[in-house]
């Protein structure tokens, strides 16, 4: 459990904190950089979910009912993230009327809420891969850590514009990644309580990640940079993810 907590903390708090620092170091040309990072992370997530998490979910299920049950859990995971997105959108709309600094604080709270199910993905991956000493969990932590870097940048930019110091902005972004650890512990515990719960946990985690990929990462990436760069980054992410899964 200590390894899971350490790895997840590095992916959650380390990823968002690094994004906060990057927002200060690369203020010019940030849109293109963020776009490429988002697309690459989306490609890796897509490969890992389709080639690893979903197959593990189906294999963990009981007999012929595994595919429909896993599919239902995927849809439930998508629906859960959609409801969370609706909550976050409401918070962000209110923050826009309160100035840049408040917008950054609300964004940090939104990222914190968002990181809980992402942590569950890491924990569920560890639970499904106990035989191989958590290789899938470490791989998923790497993917989510990459995905958290642009999120940290999104938090730090309004904080900096609102007058926060570099240290304060980076610390706020890092703290926003802390719920990832709680999610990982929860996902691991659920995933080790039997094949049925493991299937539901992995399926729900897969649905959550698919919603993040198609509902957030790719649309935002193409909005920031309309060029072949994010497309190639996404393809490279898929190939890299497949290489890691099958390697």
| Residue 113, CA distances (Å) to 81, 149, 159 in order | 10, 16, 18
Q: Which pLDDT score, from 0 to 100, does residue 138 have?
A: 77
The answer on pLDDT for 10 being more than 70 is: yes
Residue 231 CA to residue 213 CA, distance in Å, equals 13
Q: Which pLDDT score, from 0 to 100, does residue 231 have?
A: 93
Residue 153 CA to residue 16 CA, distance in Å, equals 7
Output the average pLDDT for the chain: 76
Residue 95 CA to residue 54 CA, distance in Å, equals 37
The answer on pLDDT for 135 being more than 70 is: no
**% of the chain with per-residue pLDDT over 90:** 4
Q: Which range among 14-18, 125-129, 139-143, 235-239 has the greatest average pLDDT? A: 235-239
Q: Which pLDDT score, from 0 to 100, does residue 132 have?
A: 52
The answer on pLDDT for 63 being more than 70 is: no
Question: For 42-56, 138-152, 157-171, 210-224, which range has the lowest pLDDT when averaged over its residues?
Answer: 157-171
- Which of the two residues, 11 and 238, has the higher pLDDT score? 238
Instruction: Specify the long-range contacts of residues 73-76, CB closer than 8 Å, at least 24 apart.
Output: 73/199, 73/200, 73/201, 73/202, 73/203, 73/204, 73/206, 73/207, 74/203, 74/204, 74/206, 74/207, 74/210, 75/207, 76/203, 76/204, 76/207
Residue 141 CA to residue 12 CA, distance in Å, equals 8
Q: What is the mean pLDDT of residues 125-150?
A: 71
Q: What is the mean pLDDT of residues 26-37?
A: 69
Q: Which pLDDT score, from 0 to 100, does residue 162 have?
A: 63
Give 14-26 pLDDT, tens digit per residue.
888 887 777 666 6
Q: Which pLDDT score, from 0 to 100, does residue 235 have?
A: 94
Q: Which pLDDT score, from 0 to 100, does residue 234 have?
A: 92
Domains in the chain, number: 1
Residue 82 CA to residue 185 CA, distance in Å, equals 23
Q: Which pLDDT score, from 0 to 100, does residue 232 have?
A: 94
The answer on pLDDT for 246 being more than 70 is: yes
- For residue 237, give both structure tokens: 């992410």
Based on the number of CB atoms within 10 Å of its own CB, is 44 exposed (0-12), middle (13-18) or buried (19 or more)? buried
pLDDT band at 64 (very low <50, low <70, confident <90, very high): low
Give 139-168 pLDDT, tens digit per residue.
778 877 877 777 777 667 666 666 667 777
Q: What is the mean pLDDT of residues 122-147?
A: 72
Q: What is the mean pLDDT of residues 3-11?
A: 82
The residue among 151, 143, 141 whose CA lies nearest residue 238 is: 143
The answer on pLDDT for 92 being more than 60 is: no
What 3 state SS string does the chain have? CHHHHHHHHHHHHHHHHHHHHHHHHCCCCHHHHHHHHHHHHHHHHHHHHHHHHHHHHHHHCCHHHHHHHHHHHHHHHHHHHHHHHHHHHHHHHHHHHHCHHHHHHHHHHHHHHHHHHHHHHHHHHHHHCHHHCCHHHHHHHHHHHHHHHHHHHHHHHHHHHCCCCHHHHHHHHHHHCCHHHHHHHHHHHHHCCCHHHHHHHHHHHHHHHHHHHHHHHHHHHHHHCCCHHHHHHHHHHHHHHHHHHHC
- Which of the two residues, 178 and 164, has the higher pLDDT score? 178
Domain containing 174 equals 2-246
């Amino acid at each position: 459990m200590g390894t899971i907590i350490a790895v997840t903390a590095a992916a959650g708090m380390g990823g968002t904190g690094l994004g906060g620092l990057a927002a200060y170091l690369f203020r010019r040309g940030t849109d293109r950089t963020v776009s490429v990072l988002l697309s690459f992370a989306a490609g890796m997530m897509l490969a890992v979910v389709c080639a690893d998490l979903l197959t593990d979910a189906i294999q963990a299920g009981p007999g012929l009912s595994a595919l429909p049950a896993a599919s239902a859990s995927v849809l439930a995971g998508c629906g859960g993230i959609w409801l969370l997105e609706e909550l976050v959108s409401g918070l962000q709309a209110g923050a826009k009327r309160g100035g840049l600094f408040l917008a950054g604080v609300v964004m940090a709270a939104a990222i914190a809420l968002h990181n809980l199910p992402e942590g569950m993905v890491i924990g569920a991956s560890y639970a499904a891969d106990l035989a191989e000493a958590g290789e899938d969990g470490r791989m998923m932590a790497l993917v989510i850590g990459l995905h958290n870097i642009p999120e940290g940048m999104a938090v730090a930019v309004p904080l900096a514009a609102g007058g926060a110091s570099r240290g304060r902005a980076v610390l706020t972004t890092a703290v926003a990644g802390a719920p990832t650890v709680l999610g990982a512990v929860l996902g691991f515990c659920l995933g080790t309580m039997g094949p049925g719960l493991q299937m539901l946990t992995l399926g729900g985690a897969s649905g959550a990640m698919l919603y993040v990929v198609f509902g957030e990462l790719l649309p935002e990436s193409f909005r920031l940079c309309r060029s072949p760069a994010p497309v190639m980054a996404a393809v490279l992410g898929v190939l890299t993810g497949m290489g890691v899964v099958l390697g």
